[in-house]
Copies of this chain bind each other. A is one copy, B any other.
């Protein structure tokens, strides 16, 4: 069998050019980088030949030489989830401006995979890592290791108190604002859908929710708080359970897009009118809210800015800044059709 007969066109090197022109590699190297010490004519000739033979500097040789890779790693729970896709896109664009390539990896929102992704990225000798924790991460050993190895790391969206820089939104305040809005709309029994309780993000958002209830003198009902796995099915069953309560909620705050969408569907399937019978506010992206019916009032996050800030923070660290910084990108409530007006 013909195996690897048709070898791909071999990459051409400076040495090849040098040989063919009967000069030294170092001369070629200088010429190609526009350093002086090369006669104009020779320079022209070298450049012409490089162009002609399609010479491209081998980035691996330079990486080896300088122990630098111009590469960063990104770990997200699910690249196909709209929210993450936008952040990844913005990280990439920002990184490109500074000559960095991104290796995107997907943890499938699972802690073990997350550790694998990090392993992979370290093996690639990436210069830094931007990561969004998976929802079931409770053991941070893999991140502690990064910290010890002084690998620059920036967390986004889902942070944790482990001394790593982060970019998050104002979780508590935005949840409080959202809850207040529901109260203003006349809601008396507001349910909260969240992720696992180990997630700081969930805790923060729930905190904002509880604060609003407390301030406005609305009794807190444990049975209205559902913090489980973040998934469509989980949101669906949690919401159905809520609706089956003797005293069902008249509003829902969903702290994740998936939960908001599944709640919307569950409520609709029960024949309840939104927002008349039940109001909803969710954390989701503009686009998804726009698509939903009725359009869900949502906490609007500046995804582009989250990505940009995360990369900037990482870049600082890669340049030797070892301070731990926490950036908060303010998110604000956007009213659509799933909430009742004041009064």
Indicate if the CB atoms of B125 and A56 lie closer than 8 Å: yes
A79 to B88, CA, bound (A): 9
Indicate if the CB atoms of A6 and B89 lie closer than 8 Å: no
* A111: min CB distance to chain B, Å: 18
Indicate if the CB atoms of A11 and B125 lie closer than 8 Å: yes
Indicate if the CB atoms of A150 and B6 lie closer than 8 Å: yes
Indicate if the CB atoms of B80 and A69 lie closer than 8 Å: no
> A21-29, A58-66, A190-198: which lies at the B interface?
A58-66
Q: Mark A120-144, 1 if CB is under 8 A from B, else 0.
A: 1011110100000000000000000
Hey, which chain B residues are within 8 Å of A81, CB to CB?
85
Hey, which chain B residues are within 8 Å of A293, CB to CB?
292-293
Indicate if the CB atoms of B59 and A125 lie closer than 8 Å: yes
Hey, which chain B residues are within 8 Å of A120, CB to CB?
96, 101
Task: Quickly give the copy total for this chain.
Answer: 2
Hey, which chain B residues are within 8 Å of A78, CB to CB?
89
A162 interfacial by beta-carbon distance below 8 Å: no
Hey, which chain B residues are within 8 Å of A3, CB to CB?
319-320
Indicate if the CB atoms of B103 and A89 lie closer than 8 Å: no
Q: Output the nearest chain B residue to A58 by Cβ-Cβ distance.
A: B125
Q: Given A54-B149, A151-B8, do A92 and B106 touch, yes or no (CB 8 Å)?
A: yes
A288 interfacial by beta-carbon distance below 8 Å: yes
Quick one: which of A40-94 are within 8 Å of B by CB?
54, 56-61, 63-64, 67, 69, 78-82, 85-86, 88-89, 92-93
Looking at the complex, which one of B9, B58, B85, B96 makes contact with A64 (CB distance below 8 Å)? B58
* A126: min CB distance to chain B, Å: 10
Hey, which chain B residues are within 8 Å of A57, CB to CB?
123
Q: Mark A89-113, 1 if CB is under 8 A from B, else 0.
A: 1001100100001111110000000
A276 interfacial by beta-carbon distance below 8 Å: no
Indicate if the CB atoms of B2 and A320 lie closer than 8 Å: yes
Indicate if the CB atoms of A10 and B67 lie closer than 8 Å: yes
Looking at the complex, which one of B56, B101, B322 makes contact with A103 (CB distance below 8 Å)? B101
Looking at the complex, which one of B5, B67, B92 makes contact with A11 (CB distance below 8 Å)? B67
A291 interfacial by beta-carbon distance below 8 Å: yes
Indicate if the CB atoms of A85 and B79 lie closer than 8 Å: yes
Q: Given A10-B67, A85-B79, A104-B104, do A4 and B320 touch, yes or no (CB 8 Å)?
A: yes
A7 interfacial by beta-carbon distance below 8 Å: yes
A235 interfacial by beta-carbon distance below 8 Å: no
Chain B CB count within 10 A is highest, among A54, A60, A125, A292, for A60
Hey, which chain B residues are within 8 Å of A60, CB to CB?
60, 63-64, 69, 125
14 more contacts with CB within 8 A, not counting A60-B63, A80-B82, A288-B291, are A11-B67, A57-B123, A60-B69, A79-B89, A80-B85, A80-B88, A81-B85, A82-B82, A85-B85, A92-B105, A96-B120, A101-B124, A102-B103, A103-B103
17 contacts between A and B (CB under 8 A): A6-B150, A8-B150, A8-B152, A9-B150, A11-B125, A54-B149, A57-B123, A60-B63, A60-B125, A64-B64, A78-B89, A80-B86, A80-B89, A81-B85, A92-B106, A261-B291, A293-B293
The 3 closest A-B pairs by CB, nearest first: A293-B293, A4-B320, A80-B85
